[in-house]
Amino acid sequence: MHTFTKIVFTLLSAAAIAGTAACTSASAETESSEMREIRSGEIWPDNNGVHINAHGGGILAYDNKYYWFGEHKSDSTSSALVGVKCYSSTNLADWTDCGTALEVVDEAGHDLERGCVLERPKVVYNPLTKKFVMWFHLELKGKGYSAARYGVATADKPEGPYTYLRSGRVLPGVRPAGMTAEAAARADSLAKADLGDWWTESWYKAVDDGYLNSRDLGTGQMARDQTVFVDPADGKAYHIFSSEDNLTLIIAGLSDDFTSHSGKYVRVAPAGHNEAPAIFRQGDTLWMITSGCTGWAPNKARMFSAKDIYGPWTQHENPCVGPNADLTFGGQSTYILTIPGTDKHIFMADIWRPEHPSDARYIWLPITWSKDGKPEVQWRDSWTLADLKNNI
Ligand code: DGJ
């Protein structure tokens, strides 16, 4: 286990003995409950027998428990009518409904006004402030996807309630790390030029050269599909999101309290059209899985690796293998969970149902390794946490 992870888990175990059990499960989850099956693509009932409603989600491992945060979806709209739901579990198969962690607001003009778009929430724990920090993608009510903002909220307990802090675009006035004055001037002149049609060779070059980054310099960079990653190697946190009209990924460092951007960011795969970033560390390598950009419809996953979070990032083949692998088994990535204290990882994705959003399904599959040492995701009708711990 990495040194930082060891320290955090020792602190958290001490807190568990001293603290009270929050969001206690009604069901008795025991060691043997690690034999409970995880089945992708099916209805997944919670402790009340209701299909789990936590889409575009992520998992926080804290105090020997897992907390699943995700978008509450209603039956007929993908807009947020409730907020971010939280569930807890000890075995990743049986989940207790902990209620709404972050609620939408009945105040006209409020950033979180009921009917806004609130997507892909992720929660991390900050050991310095002892706060739980939630980041999410926010679109203002009635404005489609044009706001392209991040939102951030904090809580004293994992399950919340979360207090909304603010939303915005990312780092107005700040250029990407390492951009020379000459490159900045070129991006600025491209931003003022008429570039003609998209997808031409000269347009690709202009995106690569940062014309959209320059266009958005004053407002800050657009922030849509997103995740937050705490690197187990050193405890530093990063906000990773689709920017520049979803054409370019940005990886931005977070402040020590994880509630704002540090000021350093890099652009990854300009014009690559990546959404749905999910990331994990294995040894000295960071692996990131993303999707293409086809709305709610599934597409082929992409994979990147780097030795340093700020790059360079190298693109690899689709990590999914087997039948329907070219459509990510009908899903779109949302998160990769590393089981604490192990090098076992779970790929998580959503099968969207835009006509009946609350019926959207989940894909959770173990990450295995190809002969040439790359992550692979293979469909399994069912598997258990015990299987994963025993190498499947
Ligand atoms: C794809 C994104 O990954 C989803 O989170 C959502 O924003 C849909 N697009 C909306 O079409």
Give the CATH number for residue 279: 2.115.10.20
Q: How far is the CA of 10 from the centre of ligand 1 (A)?
A: 38
Task: Give a yes or no: residue 307 inside a domain.
Answer: yes
Task: Give a yes or no: residue 3 inside a domain.
Answer: no
The confidence score (pLDDT) of residue 5 equals 47
Task: Give a yes or no: residue 101 inside a domain.
Answer: yes
Task: Give a yes or no: residue 200 inside a domain.
Answer: no
Q: How many residues does the chain have?
A: 392
Total domains in the fold of the chain: 1
Which pTM was predicted? 0.93
Task: Give a yes or no: residue 73 inside a domain.
Answer: yes
Average pLDDT over residues 153-157: 98
Give the position, in ligand 1's atom list, of the atom nearest the Cα of 332. 3
Residues 6 or more apart in contact with residue 155 via CB below 8 angstroms: 101, 131, 132, 134, 161, 162, 163
Query: Atom 9 (ligand 1): residue with closest C-alpha?
Result: 295
Give the position, in ligand 1's atom list, of the atom nearest the Cα of 275. 3
CA dihedral (212, 146, 55, 261) positive or negative = positive
Q: Indicate the pLDDT class of residue 27, thresholds 50, 70 and 90.
A: low
CA 85/CA 253 separation, integer angstroms:
26
* Amino acid at position 294, single letter: T
Alpha helix segments (H runs only) across the chain:
3-18, 181-192, 201-208, 211-215, 385-389
Task: Give a yes or no: residue 225 inside a domain.
Answer: yes
Task: Give a yes or no: residue 232 inside a domain.
Answer: yes
* pLDDT over 90 (residue 214): yes
Q: How far is the CA of 356 from the centre of ligand 1 (A)?
A: 15
Please provide residue 82's backbone torsions phi and psi, each rounded to the nearest 5 degrees: -125, -60
Q: Domain range for residue 315?
A: 36-174+217-389
Give the position, in ligand 1's atom list, of the atom nearest the Cα of 293. 1
Give pLDDT tens digits for 223-242. Answer: 999 999 999 999 999 999 99
Q: Hey, what's the torsion of the CAs at 177, 179, 181, 187, to 10 degrees?
A: -120
Task: Give a yes or no: residue 18 inside a domain.
Answer: no
**Does ligand 1 lie within 6 Å of residue 332's CB atom?**
yes
* pLDDT over 50 (residue 13): no
CA 11/CA 127 separation, integer angstroms:
9
Q: How far is the CA of 297 from the centre of ligand 1 (A)?
A: 9
Query: Atom 3 (ligand 1): residue with closest C-alpha?
Result: 276
For a ligand 1 pocket test, name from 149, 245, 296 the mutation site with the most ligand atoms within 8 angstroms of its C-beta: 296
Residues 6 or more apart in contact with residue 374 via CB below 8 angstroms: 303, 305, 316, 317, 319
